[in-house]
Amino acid sequence: MTSPEIPETGITEGGTEGAFRDVLSKDHAKRGKPPVHFADMTDEERIAKATDLGLPKFRVKQLANHYYGHFDVNAAEFTDFPAAKREEAAAAFFPRLITEVTRQVADNGTTIKTLWRLFDGSLIESVLMRYPTRTTLCISSQVGCGMGCPFCATGQLGLTRNMSAGEILEQVRVAAKMMRDGEVAGGPGRLSNIVFMGMGEPMGNYRSVLSAVRQISALPPEGFGISARNITVSTVGVVSGIRKLAAEGLPVRLAVSLHAPSDELRDELVPMNKRFNTTAVLDAAHDYWLASKRRVSIEYALMRGINDQAEHARLLAKRLNHYGDDWAHVNPIPLNPIEGSKWTASKPEDEARFLEILHSAGITATLRDTRGQDIDGACGQLAAKER
């Protein structure tokens, strides 16, 4: 297992040259691959598997309806299936990929943070947040994260492995089912938004993330029918991934974790900056806006005395305004400090001044609400504790 003291990073040897490559931990190969799930299969693979089980092709469509339309994976729910085949079909197509370990509830039952165990014992987490007009699920796409940001709990875990599309999607299915069945305070409702802001760097697991995005947004029976406009893919600034995503032509929102307005400071806070610097990241983010016409979110974790001073806000405003008006929205996030770290949350007056400077420079910015502050809000903390 990756040593927590020396997290692996995604920095390619050779500094700023060469391709982006995620560095996977050495025991990755030993862990093997997660069981193949319905969501990991192509149509042809599903039909081939059904044929192996002695099931005709139309049964695959029924299974898709169960999974994407009704969030069912249990044999007992496949009432339109021959009784003798239900168990076999459920086991073959819907192996259990995520198992709840703990659940923490906050904000009067409207925030639910779940720690999941995967087939190999890996731990990941997702957070469901219900608001008056929408319900958002924050999901993980990798076990741990290889980007090594020193202020982040997940970064301290290092990267264990990529998650499969099935593992990513199962977080969505379970949350959508909970909402439908009224298991979240506020009664039955609909999961409406997905953000890839849990554990991991989504661009480091591009194929599975994109497959998950397509299956989240397609209409049933191809997907869960959550509009691509309501999906946000975040990145620490992997420029090659941003450009690839822009070329897909999907109306998903991009969120870039900038955290610092200059290379000097960002080199320290976000090691990936040595590979893709602030100019490369902002150029790519602006190009994403041009291609998608979706305003880019700039995420900025405010850290006391480090990146939250007036000079930082002024430089951030200048750098964003360099590209024109109204293409980006800044989300300053009060840092939820990890235990024993030197990185702590900004003073409220510094937060207020930071926002004020951005606003007076014509930049839209809202302090991101920190749902679940009382239940270990920063990503990775729950998994870090469990270990």
| Numbered residues of the known binding site for [4Fe-4S] cluster | 145, 149, 152
Residue 264: active-site member: no
Looking at 145-153, 165-173, 186-194, 215-223, which segment touches ligand SF4 (CB under 6 A)? 145-153
**What is the helix (H) or strand (E) element at residue 356, kind and residue range?**
helix 348-360
| Catalytic position from the list 44, 77, 125, 339 | 125
CB of 237 to ligand SF4, least distance (A): 9
Q: Does the footprint of ligand SF4 cover residue 379 (CB under 6 A)?
A: yes
Looking at 51-59, 146-154, 170-178, 245-253, which segment touches ligand SF4 (CB under 6 A)? 146-154
| Catalytic position from the list 77, 356, 379, 386 | 379
What would the x/- binding string for ligand SF4 be over residues 315 to 344, using CB under 6 A?
Answer: ------------------------------
Comparing CB distances to ligand SF4, the nearer of 299 and 351 is: 299
Measure the CA–CA gap between 237 and 243, rounded to whole angstroms. Answer: 11
| Angle, helix 310-321 to helix 278-292, in steps of 10 degrees | 50
CB of 24 to ligand SF4, least distance (A): 14
Among 72, 167, 201, 376, binds ligand SF4 (CB under 6 A): 201
Give the C-alpha distances (Å, rounded to integers) separating 250 from 14, 219, 244, 247, 378.
33, 14, 11, 8, 29
Q: Binding-site residue total for ligand SF4 (CB under 6 A)?
A: 11
Q: Does the footprint of ligand SF4 cover residue 147 (CB under 6 A)?
A: yes
| Two tokens, residue 341 | 């770290």
Query: Which residues contribute to the annotated binding site for S-adenosyl-L-methionine?
Result: 200-201, 234, 257-259, 336
Q: Which residues pair with 162 in a beta bridge?
A: 142
What value, to the nearest 5°, has the Cα angle with vertex 236 and ends 385 and 195?
A: 70
Strand blocks (E) in the chain: 99-106, 111-117, 123-130, 135-138, 142-144, 159-162, 193-196, 231-235, 253-257, 296-302, 328-334
Contact 159, 145 (CB under 8 A): yes
| Two tokens, residue 297 | 């979110």
Among 154, 162, 297, 331, binds ligand SF4 (CB under 6 A): 154
> Which of 141, 297, 257, 113 has the alpha carbon at shortest distance from 209?
141
Which residues have a Cβ under 8 Å from the Cβ of 283 and sit 6 or more positions away?
A: 239
Among 60, 81, 155, 355, binds ligand SF4 (CB under 6 A): 155
Q: Give residues 235-264 in contact with ligand SF4 (rule: CB under 6 A).
A: 236, 257
CB of 335 to ligand SF4, least distance (A): 10
Contact 373, 367 (CB under 8 A): no
Comparing CB distances to ligand SF4, the nearer of 217 and 277 is: 277
What value, to the nearest 5°, has the Cα angle with vertex 124 and ends 248 and 89?
A: 75
Measure the CA–CA gap between 152 and 379, rounded to whole angstroms. Answer: 7
Among 55, 64, 92, 152, binds ligand SF4 (CB under 6 A): 152
Q: Does the footprint of ligand SF4 cover residue 139 (CB under 6 A)?
A: no
Residue 100: active-site member: no
Among 55, 145, 194, 363, binds ligand SF4 (CB under 6 A): 145
Looking at 33-41, 149-157, 223-231, 358-366, which segment touches ligand SF4 (CB under 6 A)? 149-157
| Two tokens, residue 155 | 């970064």
CB of 10 to ligand SF4, least distance (A): 9
Rounded to a whole number of angstroms, the CA Rg of the chain reads 21
Residues of this chain that bind ligand SF4 (CB under 6 A): 145, 147-149, 152, 154-155, 201, 236, 257, 379
Q: Active-site residue numbers?
A: 125, 379
